[in-house]
Amino acid sequence: MNTDADPCFSVCIRVQKIKSLMEKVLSARFDIPNAHTLDVYLQTGGYKALGKALKEMTPEQIIDEVKKSALRGRGGAGFSAGMKWSFVPKDLPKPKYLVCNADESEPGTFKDRLIMEKDPHSMLEGMLIAAYAIDCHLAFIYIRGEYWHIKELLERAIEEARERGYIGKNILGTGFDCDIIVHPGAGAYICGEETALLESLEGRRGEPRLRPPYPTTHGYHGQPTVVNNVETFSAVPAIVAYGAAWYRSLGTAYGSSSTPGTKLYTLLGHVNRPGLFEAPFGLTLRQVIEDFGGGMRPDSTFHFALTGGAAGTIAPPALLDIPIDYASAALGVSLGAGAFLICDQSVSPVAFLRELMHFFEAESCGKCTPCRIGTRQAREILDRMAGGRGRAGDVIELTRLAEILQTASFCGLGQSAALPLKSALKHFAGDFEAAEG
């Protein structure tokens, strides 16, 4: 597939070319022609970090370096990557597995797609380094079913790497063996949750498992397994190549943040330049809109933003200047997977929330009653309210449902559905009270 002609990608490149006063890590190769090929990847320093890891570092040193870098999972949860790797039991005869979560189903997010299309070998190299660190010899890429063209691209990249000795037996002559298999899912949002992903990978219906035990000790077929996101693995080669201290020094262009390094963000909605950009943590919504989105569209006034994806928060104008990182959700602005949907005065918070609840209702796996029934009841109430048929007590009922979803749902899907519900009801109470009729 010629992704250079992809209109989505051309938008992303325009955004990236804005002077952002920081070093690119994850998107450094995005505008290099044929960067998805092994030859170009090698010409731009590719697989040097793998060579360093296998020939100069012990598995313990790699894990320690990733820990020191403070790299956190980029799928939305934000758990320490190095810490997760360290939980895999050492010196056990059991096989260990590695899974790359490429089931990018969060609405408004397409960052993983761009990595896999434009720079797939960075993800593969990161996976191989992680596999060596945990003594894994078979890894999987669990990819969203709708990304069929990317599945084929990844399989070509894996074959290229295998032919040149970077994947398979005796990698780089070090005696380390590791193969990578691409496994397509069926487009289920729930399979973004790591245990539901593992259920699907094993051939069963994608439903979350009871935790503990956690996948690092009881994962794929009951064996120790590490699951990380595409973006997480893609950050690993640079950390190994240049060191944790270098990585922690990045991201000073936009003030302070407790989270070092850089991140890929996706920006959609009523802004002049929607697309993808790489920037440090600690951005505010105002900076996202003005510096990277080119400001609001003509005749558009900022009304609210959905931050972090569907499982995020609805942020009003009063929160435009909150620095966004993994701690900012407590202040009303979620980071999540780094997705921002900007809405102007033409968008009703009530109708918008109805669409979100419809999404969660459709994507619920149905395993637990709070999520299966709660999302449907919330959507039905919002249907009435958005259609001018609201009833007295609807806001109270939505508030009650949000609390039930958050406290009683079995997994993160139902719990996360409460976040936009609660934030919308809090910040746009007048709109919902008016919709009660």
Mean pLDDT of 318-342: 94
Average pLDDT, the chain: 92
Range with top average pLDDT, 4-18, 138-152, 250-264: 138-152
Contacts of 338 (CB under 8 A, 6+ apart): 74, 109, 111, 263, 264, 265, 266, 308
Q: Token pair 């931050």 is at which residue?
A: 307
pLDDT band per the 50, 70, 90 thresholds, residue 17: very low
C-alpha span between 273 and 108 (Å, rounded): 15
Q: Would you give the end-to-end CA distance of the chain in angstroms? A: 52
136: number of Cβ within 10 Å: 23
pLDDT digits (tens, 9 = 90+) for 384-422: 999 999 999 999 999 999 999 999 999 988 999 999 999
pLDDT digits (tens, 9 = 90+) for 117-131: 999 999 999 999 999
Lookup: tokens for 172? 């780089």
Secondary structure (3-state) at 355: helix
The residue with greater pLDDT, 31 or 252, is: 31
Domains within the chain, CATH numbers bracketed:
21-249 (3.40.50.11540), 262-344 (3.10.20.600), 349-435 (1.20.1440.230)
pLDDT digits (tens, 9 = 90+) for 258-317: 788 899 999 999 999 999 999 999 899 999 999 999 999 999 999 999 999 999 999 999
